[in-house]
Structure formats: C-alpha cells, structure tokens
Structure 1
Amino acid sequence: MLHHHLVGPADAPPLVLGPSLGTSKAVWEPQLPSLSRRFRVLRFDLPGHGGSSADILPAPEPGRTTVGDLASLVLDLANQYGWSRFHYAGISLGGAIGTHLAAHHPDRVASLALVCSSAHFGAAQPWHERADLVRLQGTAPLLETSPGRWFADRSFADSPFGRRLLGTLAAADPVGYAACCDALAAYDLRPDLATISAPTLVVGGALDTATPLKHARELAEGIADSVLETIPCGHLAVETPRALQDVLVDHLRTACAEGAMRVPLPD
C-alpha cells in the first residue's frame, strides 16, 4: 500500500489529497487543520517518495508506469477503508491522478479539485530524459533547478517549509521518481475531459511557470460546469496557503450543498 496518513472525524466524508512529483504528503500540511475538521482526510506519498516504497509499483521498468497505475494504488487505499466514494484534491501529478479517477472511475469520485495541474504535461521526451538522468544519478541534479520550477519566489527554498519539500526530493528513490516521470510522459487526458461529471474546481497559479495558466484554462474548458480560480502562487501553491484553503473549502461547501458529500462511509 501507499504510505499514507489519516486524520479527521471517523464519521466525516472522506477526502483524499494527492501530492506533486518530488514532494510528499507534507505539501498539504498548511491546509490540514482546516480540512480535517470537516473531513476524514487521507494524504498519501507517491511511490518512492516520503514513506512509500518504489516496490509497490506494478511495473517499475523504464517506460512502463502510467498515471492509471498510480490511480489504481489510490483506489487500493480507498478500498482498504471501505470508501465506495470519496472527494479528491491533488497538486500537479496528484491532480492528474484525480483527473484519471474522475474520468475512468466516475462512480468513485464525489468531487474533484485540480491544483496547478494539467490534462497533458507536454512532450514525452523531456520526461523520459529526466527519468533516465535520475536513474543514473539520483535526484541530486534536480535540486538546483527545482526551486525555480516549484516556487514563485526562489528564495522560498530557504524557508523551513521550502527546505523540507526539497529534502523530500533529495531523498526520493530514483526508481520511484523516474517511474512517475514515465507516467507523466504518457499522460494525455484531453480527449476524456468531457466525460468527467464530478463537481470540479480548477486552481491555476498566476505565477506558475511549470504549468502556466493555459493548462488550468484547458482543464476548465474541457470539464463541464467546472469552476476556475486563480491564486498568486507558483507550481506547488505553497506561497499563499490560505488562498488555496479558501477556494478549496468553498468548493467542498458547494459540493455539500448540492448533495455530493453524502457519500457512504464504512461501519
């Protein structure tokens, strides 16, 4: 199973939070106190990240892992807790996992929030090249360039939270990290966006250079009745945590009012 952490009232609706590539469940810590008052919140680590072993990958060989494989691992977690439906929010790759779930397992996703994410993360070759580099040299070569991709202000890397996130990248298992790169290389859900029926929030970072706002707009335009919000942040949405919290809570409150939160819970 994916390494994960569960907190919040046992009888509250389940909410799954997915992290971005190179980070861990810690990326959601600023929003956790608020969300865990209202939900049974499950945060997980991607394979080879944080506490998750790369050994859980069904096919870790180069070029084999897909976003669908990662989504299946999330479903395994939901099944373990008896959750037939759950709310989902994810950042970047974590958002791609949620998009896949909402498109291919619509009965499981009660509502969806996509933060600094995309339906397609660009050409496959750069992802395969990064995967090859990490398999050969580990994640150390990425530590110099990642702050510029992750944070709107590169100096955030010197903050306690920034150092913690970069520490997760430094410690990532090369096999797991590279497999996630392969998943992003093969990912293109643009043809399936119109099939998503879950109430959806799309959050774009006004200062995000890794997935610029055009990616958020494409998601919002492709998913019927979705809501697009823009906040002043970089790719991980960590500079303005309250802004992300506010739009996410409003989204979930609306889903509640429309009945999407009335989901079956285990005994």
Structure 2
Amino acid sequence: MVKKKGKPTRGVLRQNKAELKAEHARYFASEDLDFFIEHYWTVRWDLRNKDPYLAETLPYPSIHIVFDKGDSKIYGITKGRFSYLLEGKGSVFGIKFRPGAFYPFFKKHVSLLTGKTLGIDQVFNVNVSQLEIEIFETEEDDDRIPIVESWLKNHIPEKDPNIPYINSIIDKIKEDREVRSVDQIVKLFSIGKRSLQRLFQEYVGVSPKWVIQRYRLHEVAEKIEKSEKVNFAELALDLGYYDQAHFIKDFKNTIGLGPLEYLKTTK
C-alpha cells in the first residue's frame, strides 16, 4: 500500500502561491527501495483559461528522475533555483534519491551531473517512451508508484555504506542550524577536510559548504515568507554571515532577487 508523506515545508519558493496553482504530493518508497529513495513526488495542475505560473524551487542536494510526457530526464543538482512553467493541464512524477544514493546507479562521480540533465536511458537500460506511456495512462499515484518501483527493482545496486554516513552528515546540517561551517562538520564527524570534500564531490555532486549554505538559505526563504517584516542585518548574523552585504549577495545570486524584493513577491 502506498504511504503518503507530508507536504514539503521548505524548498518551494513562494509556497503559499504555489499551493494555489498546483497540487503537490509526496510518498514513501517501499522497504526494498527506501535505502536509495527519499520519496516520490507528484505535481498536478489545471490552469486552462488561466495565466501560466512559473514554479520555482531551491533544490536539495539530491538527484531526481522526473517523468514528464515526452521530456523525462535525470536531473543533477541545480546550484541556483529550479524553474518549471506550469501551463494548461498536466502533471509530472518524480523520484528523489537520498543524497549520495544515485552514485551506485550512476557508477561515476555524481559531480559530473551537477547543473546538467541526462536521458534516463543513458544510465538505465529502459524504453523511456514505453515507461512514460504506462505512467501517464493513469492519473492515480497509487497506480503510478508500483509501475515505477517495478522498473527500479530491476536495477537495484548493492547497498553502499557511504550512503547512510553521508546522510547522517546532511541530516545534522539540516536539523542543527548552528552548523555553519565545514570545520564544524570535520570535528563533529572526525573526518579529514579533504576526505569530506572528496566524498561529497563523488557521491553528492556538490561541496559540503554548498550544502550548508543551501539549508541555511532554505531557512531564510521560509522566514521571509512567514513574516511581514524581517530584520535582515540580524538574520545575516544569525546565519553566520559577517556582514549583511555578503548575505544579500548570496541570496540574490541564488534566488534571483534581493531579500526585500523577494519578500514583496510572496505576498
């Protein structure tokens, strides 16, 4: 039986607006695949006779396989924001791999995928068009997930012990907002800095510093969306920035707008 997961609380930009434009759902993977798959996700929209909507997210440090009619792909980590134009009526179905967990399938440094997309059949022996037909001939997620899992189970690699180790590090970064530097991770996990960086480049596709900054920016975006007024100088210091200007520069480089301009777009 398919088990539903709660809605995303971070990562979706302008979340309140996004929820009005499309239906988001997430589901746990079966026990056989849970080691590798964080969850499945779907987005459905019906904007017929309505203006298109540009949905944007701040991606997590994960690889996704996204099934989209005629355009299904493997997505490496996007360092900036990820955008997708919703128009007409449609849906997409995604597989979110746990950080580092795509490496055993790919069998190459995952950093080769960062900022790029790849055809699914470049990694898996599969007729993508036929798989798309099977997935999209039903509207029900309860029917789509078994189709995807049946395919994935034919490709399960051996469990790599580096994956739970990497996820324990990333979980610490995600849950402990006091973690603001790579040096803290080095001390907490008793690992050499260079070894940590090599591990992340090979398995995750981005540096540990990028992961720390991304999760802290998730917190910033969430605070901005939930507040009418934000003390950006105080927020910058709270996030470990030495000055407000550096924080604003990082935010703008990632989101595309300064914090104050972004605040205005969320209301």
What TM-score does the superposition give when structure 1 sets the normalisation length?
A: 0.30
Structure of higher RCO (CA pairs closer than 8 Å, 6+ residues apart): 1
Q: Which has the larger radius of gyration?
A: 2
What TM-score does the superposition give when structure 2 sets the normalisation length?
A: 0.30
